[in-house]
């Protein structure tokens, strides 16, 4: 029996596992290998804490950040599959479902804004 996402530590835990999967996947890891993770990961923690726990700590423009990345249509299902499997393997409950659903909606919006598809 798994528990739901409840604390900032839970957010940190799933974000770290998610990034391990992204970094291990040769189809997509070229986008992440040159990142300064010490700077990047706290942004990811605060983004998901803001969405799921209402901490309101994330103040940046994440859509703008992705404009410089030359993402391809095929990158989105890969990113989403790693996100969803990370959550399903480690948590369960309403917040977990909400995280997956929000990730899908934001990814669709992002893909449309960046690629028009």
Interatomic CA distance for residues 72 and 79, integer angstroms:
11
SS (H, E, C) 32-78: CCCCCHHHHHHHHHHHHHHHHHCCCCCCCCHHHHHHCCCCCCCHHHH
Site string for ligand HEM, 64-83 (x = CB under 6 A): -xx--x-x---xx--x----
Among 27, 60, 88, 113, binds ligand HEM (CB under 6 A): 60
Q: How far is CA 25 from the centre of its chain?
A: 15
Residue 114 is a binding residue for ligand HEM (CB under 6 A): no
Residue 1 CB, nearest distance to ligand HEM (Å)? 27
Residue with smaller CB distance to ligand HEM, 47 or 91: 47
Interatomic CA distance for residues 91 and 6, integer angstroms:
10
Find all residues with CB under 8 Å of 104, minimum gap 6, and list them. Answer: 80
Residue with smaller CB distance to ligand HEM, 11 or 44: 44
Contact residues: ligand HEM, CB under 6 A? 28, 31-32, 35, 40, 43-44, 47, 60, 62, 65-66, 69, 71, 75-76, 79, 103, 106-107, 110
């Amino acid at each position: 029996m798994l528990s739901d996402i409840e604390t900032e530590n839970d957010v940190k835990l799933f974000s770290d596992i998610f990034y391990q999967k992204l970094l291990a996947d040769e189809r997509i890891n070229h986008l992440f290998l040159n990142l300064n993770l010490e700077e990047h990961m706290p942004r990811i923690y605060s983004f998901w804490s803001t969405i799921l726990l209402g901490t309101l700590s994330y103040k940046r423009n994440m859509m703008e950040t992705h404009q410089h990345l030359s993402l391809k249509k095929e990158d989105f299902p890969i990113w989403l599959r790693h996100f969803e499997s990370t959550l399903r393997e480690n948590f369960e409950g309403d917040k977990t479902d909400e995280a997956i659903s929000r990730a899908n909606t934001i990814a669709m919006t992002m893909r449309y804004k960046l690629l028009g598809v």
